[in-house]
Amino acid sequence: MSGQNGQAPAELLSANNITALFDSVDAFLFDCDGVIWKGDKLIDGVRQTLDVLRSKGKKLIFVTNNSRRSRRQYAHKFHSLGVSVSEDEMFSSSFAAAMYLKVNNFPQENKVYVIGGEGILEELRQAGYTGLGGPEDGEKRVQLKSNCLFEHDKNVGAVVVGLDPHINYYKLQYGTLCIRENPGCLFIATNRDAVGHLTDLQEWPGAGCMVAAMCASTEKEPIVVGKPSTFMMEILSKK
């Protein structure tokens, strides 16, 4: 009996079909926060599971919407937890943001303002772009006084918004002015996740909170490059 669109109906996983299913899969994609680790603690059984998959010749790809780190920094985190993962096996939303600019021929002479972490800035540098903002703007303050004009760089051609524990009014104003006043300035979101497993004991507000603030102030919708966007799925399928 066929299911919708002539496809075979879904079967419950059982001892009778698990081997056939496992053998039919060449690559496994894993989320990281809440799946591989919670905060800086590896989840029980992860190391053994990955070892078994590698011993069977399976390709592993680790995908995360958490943009605070670059691929290099995530590979280092895996190693610090006793798991060997290469940079090429990582696919972060920070990397996806840089890749989006690159595949869409974003001019390298244009700058990128970042509301987010060092991971985005590092991936932008690797792709040949100049990033502004990020953690160093976390301590900056605005002057809400009469006749005080907030200046921003007119050469910013894209604003990338990701998870930013140090988001402030300065960053929101800078990003808003770039998007609203710089002709053709792109508004890119690493993801719209409402919450994330940033520590082992509880969930925390996700990048979606920062993106929502920018949507409100600019009255624009972003280009989303992280899971589950079509862009990320297309890039992953090529890997």
> Which residue from 162, 103, 91, 165 is spatially nearest to 131, judged by alpha carbons?
162
Task: Find tokens 């060997």 and name the residue.
Answer: 84
Amino acid 20 reads A
Count of Cβ atoms closer than 10 Å to residue 194 Cβ: 12
Rounded distance, CA 1 to CA 17, Å? 18
26 as an active site residue: the answer is yes
Count of Cβ atoms closer than 10 Å to residue 163 Cβ: 29
What secondary structure letter does DSSP report for 4?
Answer: G
Rounded distance, CA 143 to CA 14, Å? 64
Over its C-alpha atoms, the chain yields an Rg (Å, rounded) of 20
DSSP 137-154: GGG------TT-PPP--T
CA of residue 42 relative to chain centroid, distance: 20
- Catalytic residue set: 26
